[in-house]
């Protein structure tokens, strides 16, 4: 059972009119960009339900783009996100879509850049709480409450134990692990009790067995010299 933080009830410190339509949207864009892991050149946002009906009035469009740019919910530049994105050459578009039986505040983000295209579907659940429910064709459950690694690999014996050993070598415990498989492709969402060091991350990222390793706040930042 997850602990309930007071900010899940009151909502986060934020710029914008709505924790669901603004703060949650910022977090969705932010995590989607981290899942992609490379410089984002183009994003198509497919808005579902309430997001589709009110995204301009509630600033959801601005918030999603701000998140893609790496802004947090309290960033004072957030109202200028669309203009800043255009200045940086980011191409973006918004589309209304029916994403099926999902939360009303749901968006599918199709992200393109130098890396292969990635599709991320996520929902804003209220109070700034979000959940990523699908990455490409793989169903996941990611809320960003813990330092998290997302690892994609061709399913084969011994992979999970190798990943676990690498994390253990950093002196970090695994809080939760979910592995989803589609045909021969596996996606692991690995929530950690603490951050790992950069060496362990590079060890995983450089392993040819892993097709993609994404860092969602799981790697310690090195102190500036």
Q: Which domains does the chain have, with CATH numbers?
A: 6-142 (3.30.1330.90), 148-216 (3.30.70.260)
Q: What per-residue confidence (pLDDT) applies to 225?
A: 39
Q: What per-residue confidence (pLDDT) applies to 19?
A: 57
- What is the residue whose two structure tokens read 């040819």? 208
Q: What per-residue confidence (pLDDT) applies to 6?
A: 34
Q: What per-residue confidence (pLDDT) applies to 11?
A: 45
What tokens does 73 get? 């919910």
* Largest Cα–Cα separation, the chain: 50
Give CA separation, 70 vs 31, 146, 205, in Å.
9, 18, 21
Q: What is the pTM of this model?
A: 0.85
Provide the sign of the torsion angle of the four alpha carbons 31, 225, 204, 116, taken in this order: positive
- Name the percent of the chain in helix, strand, coil, to the closest 5: 30, 35, 35
The length of the chain in residues reads 225
pLDDT means over runs of 10, the chain (225 residues)? 40 49 90 95 96 87 96 90 96 96 96 94 91 92 92 92 93 92 89 94 93 93 53
Q: What per-residue confidence (pLDDT) applies to 97?
A: 96
């Amino acid at each position: 059972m997850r602990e309930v933080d007071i900010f899940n009830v009151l909502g986060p410190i934020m710029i914008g009119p709505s924790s669901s339509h603004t703060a949650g949207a910022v977090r969705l864009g932010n995590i989607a960009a981290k899942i992609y892991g490379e410089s984002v050149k183009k994003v198509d946002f497919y808005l579902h339900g309430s997001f589709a009906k009110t995204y301009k009035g509630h600033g959801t469009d601005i918030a999603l783009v701000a998140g893609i740019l790496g802004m947090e919910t309290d960033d004072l530049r957030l109202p200028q996100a669309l203009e800043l994105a255009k200045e940086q050459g980011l191409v973006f578009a918004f589309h209304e879509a029916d994403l099926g039986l999902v939360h009303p505040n749901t968006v599918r983000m199709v992200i393109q850049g130098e890396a292969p295209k990635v599709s991320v579907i996520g929902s804003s659940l209220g109070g700034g709480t979000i959940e990523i429910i699908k990455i490409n064709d793989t169903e996941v459950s990611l809320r960003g409450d813990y330092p998290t690694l997302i690892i994609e690999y061709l399913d084969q014996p011994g992979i999970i134990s190798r990943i676990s050993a690498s994390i253990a070598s950093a002196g970090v415990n695994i809080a939760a692990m979910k592995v989803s498989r589609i045909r021969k492709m596996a996606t692991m969402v690995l929530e950690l009790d603490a951050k790992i060091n950069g060496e362990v991350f590079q060890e995983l990222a450089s392993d040819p067995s892993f097709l993609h390793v994404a860092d969602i706040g799981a790697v310690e930042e090195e102190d500036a010299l």
